[in-house]
Amino acid sequence: MEGRKLKDMFGTESKPGAEAEEGRIKMSQAGPVTETSSQPQDVAASARRAKTLEAKEVNLYYGDFHAVENVNMTIEPNKVTALIGSSGCGKTTFLRSLNRMHELTPGATVKGSIKLDGEDVYANGVDPVAVRSLIGMVFQQPNPFPTMSIYDNVAAGLNFNARKTSKSQKDEVVERSLRGAHLWDEVKDRLQRPGSGLSGGQQQRLCIARAISVNPEVILMDEPCSALDPIATARIESLMDELKQNYCIVIVTHSMQQAARVSQLTAFFHMGFLVEEGDTTDVFTAR
């Protein structure tokens, strides 16, 4: 499956209001991508070309505070990139800037460019909601929608899409996404029960299923295992290894052991600066 271009999703001219609405219309016309086979498949069943993210001269601010300074890096497709460093070093702020969540904080600003396969996600007229459908986020604490069933949690992205989706299409996407998150066999007989009733590890995999249900190109994970036990952590790490076949994955982690286990590329942040980046083996072993 070929990746979608940002210009196919929304306009890039700097006309406020109408252009933003046009972006939403184009996004809705794209619609969810479903398998043509009558049998839903695992997300990792057929590899596709994932997207490349490129940050150039990225500076991030909270009011007058310069949180991240002059970051330049390329995040490669079909690999897991780990962002590491001490608390407050800017790694989560940088992660949130990749899909424009940083700007949701009052007073937060961004300078520089972040491009998804050459298309600037901060360009004038670009709809940030559409950006976040292409660059999904999984948070530190599992956050299934508490009033929704397991089924509706996964289908939430499809429901928010303006394009009408048939029940059979929705069923197919829900099953495919839950299979892709290695959760289907555990919940297939209780899809109408609340997602909040699952264990912590299951809830995190439910959130991953929800993220991949709308066919993103990139998945961002902010310490996805910090609240989980070792068994649930191992399952999430195994899932990341499988998902990288189809996605560009960026993970923030405080665990050096986890970064060494799951990532192929590592970027080390310190006091708002990107100090070092490269092959994970080289970063951890080079003198």
pLDDT at 286 > cutoff 80? no
Q: pLDDT confidence of 211, banded at 50, 70, 90?
A: very high
DSSP letters spanning 28-84 = HHH-----SSSS---TTSS------EEEEEEEEEETTEEEEEEEEEEE-TTSEEEEE
Amino acid 161: pLDDT: 63
Q: Of 130, 133, 132, 122, which is closest to residue 56 (Cα–Cα)?
A: 122
- Are 249 and 266 a contacting pair, CB within 8 Å? no
Confidence band for 227, pLDDT divided at 50, 70 and 90: confident
Kindly report, residue by residue over 103-113, the tens digit of the pLDDT. Answer: 999 999 999 99
- The residue-averaged pLDDT of 177-190 equals 96
Per the CB < 8 A criterion, the answer to whether 126 and 206 are in contact is no
pLDDT tier for residue 7 given thresholds of 50, 70 and 90: low
Q: Which of 22-31, 184-193, 214-223, 245-254 has the lowest mean pLDDT?
A: 22-31
CA gap 186, 209 in Å, rounded: 13
Question: Per-residue pLDDT for 186 more than 50?
Answer: yes
Beta bridge partners of 111: 59
Sorted by where each begins, the domain ranges of the chain are 6-12+53-285
59-68, 157-166, 167-176: the lowest-pLDDT one: 157-166
CA distance 51 to 63: 31
Task: Note the pLDDT of residue 40.
Answer: 37
Q: Are 114 and 54 in contact (CB under 8 A)?
A: yes
User: Using 50, 70 and 90 to split pLDDT, how confident is the model at 275?
Assistant: very high
Distance CA 283, CA 267 (A): 8
Contact 260, 84 (CB under 8 A): no
Where helices occur in 53-180 by DSSP H, the ranges are: 91-97, 128-134, 150-160, 167-180
For residue 65, list its beta bridge partners: 62
pLDDT, tens only, 92-132: 999 999 999 999 999 999 999 999 999 999 999 999 988 99
pLDDT for the residue numbered 127: 92
- Taking the model in full, what pTM does it have? 0.82
Are residues 68 and 195 in contact, defined by beta-carbon separation less than 8 angstroms?
Answer: no
Query: Would you state the pLDDT for residue 163?
Result: 63
What pLDDT, on the 0 to 100 scale, is given for residue 160?
73
Q: How many helices (H) and strands (E) does the chain have?
A: 11, 10
User: Average pLDDT of 227-254?
Assistant: 94
- Residue-wise pLDDT for 32-67, tens only, equals 333 333 333 343 333 445 689 999 999 999 999 999
Q: What rounded mean pLDDT belongs to the chain?
A: 84
- The dotted CATH code for 6-12+53-285 is 3.40.50.300
Average pLDDT of the residues in 249-256? 96
Q: What is the pLDDT, as a whole number, of residue 162?
A: 52
Per-residue model confidence (pLDDT) at position 77: 93
Averaged pLDDT, 187-196? 96
